[in-house]
Amino acid sequence: MQTDYSIYCEKLKKIADIQYSMALLSWDQEVYMPAKGAEFRAGQLSTLAGIAHEMSVDQELGSLLDRLLVDTSLSEKEKRNVKESHKNYHIQKKYSTDFVVALNKTISASYQAWHKARTENNFALFAPVLEKLIELKKQECEILGYEKHPYDAMLEQYEPGARVADLDVLFDQVKAKLVPFVKKIAMAKQNDSDFLFKHFEKNTQWDFGIFLLQQMQYDFEAGRQDISAHPFTTSFSPSDVRVTTRINEYDLREMIWGCIHEGGHALYEQGLDAADYGLPSAEAISLGIHESQSRLWENNVGRSLSYWKANYGKLQQAFPEQLKEVSLDRFYKAINLVEPSLIRTSADELTYHFHIMIRYEIEKELISGSLSVYDLPSYWNHKYKDYMNLDVPSDEQGVLQDIHWSHGSFGYFPTYSLGSFYAAQFFAKAKEQIKDLDLQLQMGELKSLLLWLRENIHQYGKFYQASELCEKICGTKIDFEYFFNYVENKYKQIYEYADNE
């Protein structure tokens, strides 16, 4: 005999089937779809979005959730699932099907326009559809509601509980501590990194990236890697989690840290409970926590000296002519070079947060209506000059470099910085609890770290809120001091500057 809870599980799994089918079409759109398929693909995605929305706001589901909400026979995990679904149901009820279809259709058109504009280095090709998309996102803010700033409604979609007021304080800490720290480093002797920009053959890079993913324990029987314009991870279930990377034959960094970063995201998705497919307990808590996984692997592990003690010899074997005269110490200092740059995805782990601040400030103004889409290139360029003293030479290297706005992902960027700060706390705790972790990294043994992440983060799905999980693991909420202490200790040794005020 079926129970209310088993009926609820069936309904959510059917909704998930539709949503993951959309994800598969979106993945194909960015990886393999021919250009002429864009118009029909937009229609297909819009149709499926409308079906998923109608299923998500079905009155029968709402009544079922109301009953389950007061069902005392449920386990704590089941109660958490129902509570999260009940909350999501009432959020989805705020949207009309027409709005959902219009938004998804505009997003599909926006991606195609962005891709063409980026290829042709011409923001004007993207501006009209981006303007339409932003107007829809403004409408979405009003649909969802907010107390103080409309951007809060966008943040809630990616980092529940995050607010402009809180993020402003956090980025003020970045400005107060990280900005002067980077200036101090800039006055020290700079390290050489020219050897990273020799010619590195594409297929050899690809093979080394596959090795790095395998070493991280990424399950290729439950995933695959492909090439895309912008590296990303997408999941259709814990048994099918795919990553993409981008290879630049004259910049070795893009492939290596693209693979490690996306691999971190994928390990999180592969670590979720497949038995709870479709339920909140098989979904990531927030994008800040998701990003903590990719940034932990990319920076705390992938840019550490211990990690490269295990892997640098293999990289030299892959590229003997380019790296035979380059010592491990020289390589380590080069991959941790701190230098303002134009491209966010290849930025060092310190100035990276200046890129995020710029996008955060721009997004707030776009959503509030104080900045016009057509003023974006000049405003972007002004911000880069102001924050990093850089002149932006082109739209491709400036306002068109990220894919996120073409997806309508406003409110997403701040989670990158949140993720780095969470990562520093989690990695500090992992080192405390895995006594020989540094030695394991030096030997290329990464399984213990992954198991620690699985036990402390991945297995819980949405059982905890992000702040709750952080307190459970670390005994405190997110604290910028963990990140700052980590980078201060690391870069004092790399740059060997005199710590004089």
Catalytic residue set: 262
Length of the chain: 501
CB 280 within 8 A of CB 268: no
Task: Extract the tokens encoding 187.
Answer: 């006055």
56-76 b/e (C-beta count within 10 Å ≥ 16 → b): bbeeebeebbeebeeeeebee
Radius of gyration of the chain, Cα coordinates, nearest whole angstrom: 23
The separation between the first and the last C-alpha atoms of the chain, rounded to the nearest angstrom, is: 73
Spatial distance between the Cα atoms of 67 and 485, rounded to a whole number of angstroms: 49
Q: How many CB atoms lie within 10 A of CB 435?
A: 9
> Which of 499, 500, 495, 400 has its CA nearest to residue 188?
495
226 beta partners: 244
Q: How far apart are CA 308 and CA 301, in angstroms?
A: 9
Contact 152, 164 (CB under 8 A): yes
- Rounded to 5°, the CA angle 206-209-213 comes to 140
SS3 content of the chain, % helix, strand, coil (to 5): 70, 5, 30
Question: What is the C-alpha to C-alpha distance for residues 282 and 285, in angstroms, rounded to an integer?
Answer: 9
Question: What are the tokens at 303?
Answer: 């840019």
| Three-state DSSP state, 243 | strand
What's the CA gap between 480 and 368, in Å, rounded? 27
CB 79: neighbour CB atoms within 10 A? Answer: 15
Nearest-angstrom CA–CA distance, 313 and 472:
39
CA-wise closest residue to 175 among 327, 361, 15, 325 = 361
Give the strand pairing for 240-245 and 233-237. Answer: antiparallel
Residue 120: exposure state from Cβ atoms within 10 A (0-12, 13-18, ≥19):
middle
Dihedral sign computed on CA atoms, order 353, 357, 358, 359: positive
What's the CA gap between 275 and 287, in Å, rounded?
A: 22
**Cα 156 from Cα 28, distance rounded (Å):** 28
